[in-house]
Amino acid sequence: MVKPEGPTGSVPHGPAGSAPEGPTGPVPEGELVLVARIESASNAVFRGAIGDTEVVYKPEAGERPLWDFPDGTLAQREVAAYLVSEVFGGDIVPMTWLRDGPAGPGMVQLWCDVDPDQSGVDVVPLDEVPPNGWRHVFDGVDERDREVSLIHEDGEALRRMALFDVVANNADRKAGHILPVAGGHRHGIDHGLTFHAEHKLRTVLWGFIDEPLAPTELAAVKRVQDALGGELGTALSPLLTEFEIVALDERCGLLLASGRFPAPAGSMPAVPWPIF
């Protein structure tokens, strides 16, 4: 298969493209002040503020090289995920843009306050899977050799996110990348490993395999495919390679043709590790 090269050209320092549902407003401007480093992240990630707006900042200089993704492209992929999310609808990815910061150019994203009393994904004992409101993903053993099940919520928010991940070819949808916020909404974050030209889908959201896509879900996929020939395609061109944009269009076409959630495919693991 063709190996994608890094994106070229000037990169927009703000969101662009169509946003049919829930536009998030203008990009905050001003000095980016760092508050703390998020130590649990594999790359350099900082919590910061632009005036009164809390943000996450991921400098390109803090990205670790990966064997299967081109170096120095993760920030651009995060912005691409936001742009596609805005067209897809459902307010999945918080506003994300590129700008300079204390550690150089990087990705900036609006901070999301998590509701500690909610969880979209869980691991439960094998015999304690809830009968309603949850989807079973797979069974396994934990670090103490106890039999457990990985489950996730059975709801519109995660169903839409699971479909978005297929469109974006998300290779890293960990449980910790699903943020439960007040009111029952779910945001998806950490989209640096997306839009590869080759199949890379790795996710914990496999609970909808082979289910028919609803008309609203098909419409979301069709919006993205149609927008690639207009403003969305223009906005993505400095962020992704031509091969990656073509592959995005092809994934949309396959989803529209099948009308169903896909099953795992290929020889690579179907879930990311660690799961959380």
Instruction: Identify the pLDDT of residue 2.
Output: 30
Strand 134-141 with 147-153, pairing:
antiparallel
| Residue 117 C-beta-side C-alpha neighbours within 13 Å | 3
Residues 135, 146: contact at Cβ < 8 Å?
Answer: no
* Angle formed at CA 214 by CA 208 and CA 220, multiple of 5 degrees: 100
Each residue's pLDDT tens digit, 156-165:
999 999 999 9
Average pLDDT, the chain: 90
**What percent of the chain has pLDDT above 70?**
91
* pLDDT tens digit sequence for 61-103: 999 888 889 899 999 999 999 999 999 999 999 999 999 999 9
The mean pLDDT of 29-45, rounded to a whole number, is 91
What would the mean pLDDT of 28-46 be, rounded to a whole number?
91
Identify the pLDDT of residue 120: 93
Q: Is the pLDDT score of 260 beyond 50?
A: yes
pLDDT at 268: 84
pLDDT in tens, 50-69: 999 999 999 999 998 888 89
Per-residue pLDDT averaged across 224-246, rounded? 98
Residue 107 CA, chain-centre distance (Å), reads: 14
What residue has token string 């990815």? Answer: 93
pLDDT of 144 above 60 = yes
The predicted structure's pLDDT at residue 24 = 55
Report the C-alpha gap between 158 and 120 in whole angstroms: 8
Residues 186-202: pLDDT tens digits?
Answer: 999 999 999 999 999 99
Question: In angstroms, rounded to a whole number, what is the distance separating the alpha carbons of residues 185 and 21?
Answer: 14
Measuring CA to CA, which residue among 17, 5, 19, 22 is closest to residue 236?
17
pLDDT of 7 > 70? The answer is no
Give CA–CA dist 98/15, Å, rounded.
Answer: 9
Region for residue 156 given its phi and psi (left: phi exceeds 0; alpha: psi -120 to 50; beta: otherwise): alpha
More confidently predicted of 6 and 236: 236
Between 184 and 243, residue with greater pLDDT:
243
pTM score > 0.95 for this model? Answer: no
SS3 per residue for the chain: CCCCCCCCCCCCCCCCCCCCCCCCCCCCCCCEEEEEECCCCCCCCEEEEECCEEEEEEEHHHCCCCCCCCCCCHHHHHHHHHHHHHHHCCCCCCCEEEECCCCCCEEEEECCCCCCCCCCEEEEEHHHCCCCCEEEEEEEECCCCCEEEEEEECCHHHHHHHHHHHHHCCCCECHHHEEECHHHCEEECCCCCCCCCCCCCCECCCCCCCCECCHHHHHHHHHHHHHCCCHHHHHHCCCCCHHHHHHHHHHHHHHHHHCECCCCCCCCCCCCCCCC
By the 10 Å C-beta count (0-12 exposed, 13-18 middle, 19+ buried), 66 is classed as: middle
Q: Is the pLDDT of residue 5 over 70?
A: no
User: Poorest-confidence range of 4-13, 199-208, 242-251, 254-263?
Assistant: 4-13
Alpha-carbon dihedral of residues 113, 118, 120, 122, nearest 10 degrees? 120
Question: Above 80 in pLDDT, residue 16?
Answer: no
